[in-house]
Amino acid sequence: MKTLMIDMDDVITNGNFNKYIEEFMNIKIDMTKITNYEYVQDLVKSKKEEFWKYVENKDLYKGAPLFKDCYEVLKKLNDKYDLYIVTSYLWTDVIDISGKNLGYKYYYLKEMLPFINPSKYIFTTNKNLLNFDIKIDDKITNLEGADIKILFNRWHNINKKYDKNIIRVNNWKEIEEVLL
Ligand SMILES: [Mg+2]
């Protein structure tokens, strides 16, 4: 059975982070106009401390929908591959909130994807330490080391240069076509 790494943020779900930024800043973020990974966090740069206080006790995932077709395709992949959800959880700016973030991630995955055993969650900060046959992520550098690298198309990687052997997918149906 081939090993398969699946990223969580911006591959399985968006979570609630941008929603809280919009609420806090009283703005509407237009993701179609954004190409820079740090841009969203830059929006709160000037009020960083207040923002983290605002977010501190808010669940960053509860109620956030899964991406379209994610549930069905993951269920099929889980039967065919040795599948792990690999996600980083540390907020380096506010390191002590990270423990809560890990909890939110855990309970979200357990509730939304009940067919994946929690022993298959890997909470980490450095995905490059992990060897997998196949990696799916929206961050190009997180795909290193895999035989099959699948880049999930997101606003921040649209204009990025990447190896020719990386397969870009736009949605979960395309993942299904590549892996099933
Ligand atoms: Mg991600």
For residue 57, report the distance from its CA to the centre of ligand 1, in Å.
22
Assess if residue 20 is contained within a domain: no
pLDDT at 7: 98
Tell me the torsion sign for CA atoms 17, 22, 25, 29: positive
In a domain, 46, yes or no: no
- The residue segments making up the domain with residue 101 are 3-14+65-179
- CA 3 to each of CA 72, 86, 97, 142: distance values in angstroms, whole numbers, following the listed order: 19, 12, 31, 15
Q: How far is CA 85 from CA 5, 40, 94, 140, in A?
A: 6, 24, 24, 17
Q: Domain for residue 97, yes or no?
A: yes
pLDDT range class, residue 13, cuts 50, 70, 90:
very high
* Position 94 confidence tier, pLDDT thresholds 50, 70, 90: confident
Give residue 88 CA to ligand 1 midpoint distance, Å.
8
- Would residue 169 count as lying in a domain? yes
In a domain, 49, yes or no: no
CATH of the domain at 108: 3.40.50.1000
pLDDT for res 171: 98
Q: What is the per-residue pLDDT across 33-88, written as a single tens digit (0 to 9) for each?
A: 877 777 777 888 889 899 999 999 999 999 999 999 999 999 999 999 999 999 99
pTM: 0.94
The total domain count for the chain is 1
Q: What is the largest CA-CA distance in the chain?
A: 48
pLDDT for res 158: 86
pLDDT of residue 31: 81
Please indicate, yes or no, if residue 146 is contained in any of the structural domains.
Answer: yes
Range of weakest confidence among 12-16, 44-48, 57-61, 174-178: 44-48
Residue 166, by phi and psi: left (phi above 0), alpha (psi -120 to 50) or beta? beta
Query: How much distance in Å is there from the Cα of 175 to the middle of ligand 1?
Result: 15
Instruction: Establish if 39 belongs to a structural domain.
Output: no
Give a three-class secondary structure readout of 84-131.
EEEEECCCCCCHHHHHHHHHHHHHHHHHHCCCCCHHHEEEECCHHHCC
Residue 153 binned pLDDT confidence (cut-offs 50, 70, 90)? very high
Domain assignment of residue 50, yes or no: no
Q: Yes or no: say if 98 and 89 are a contact pair by the CB < 8 Å rule.
A: yes
CA of 142 to the centre of ligand 1 (A): 9
| Cβ neighbours, 10 Å, residue 168 | 13
- 7 CA distance to ligand 1 centroid (A)? 6
pLDDT digits (tens, 9 = 90+) for 103-141: 999 999 999 999 999 999 999 989 999 999 999 999 999
Distance in Å, CA 152 to ligand 1 centroid? 9
Rounded (10°) CA dihedral 128, 122, 40, 13: 120
Q: How far is the CA of 149 from the centre of ligand 1 (A)?
A: 14
Distance from residue 24's CA to the centre of ligand 1 (Å) = 23
Distance 137 CA to ligand 1 centre (A): 6
Q: How far apart are CA 1 and CA 80, in angstroms?
A: 7
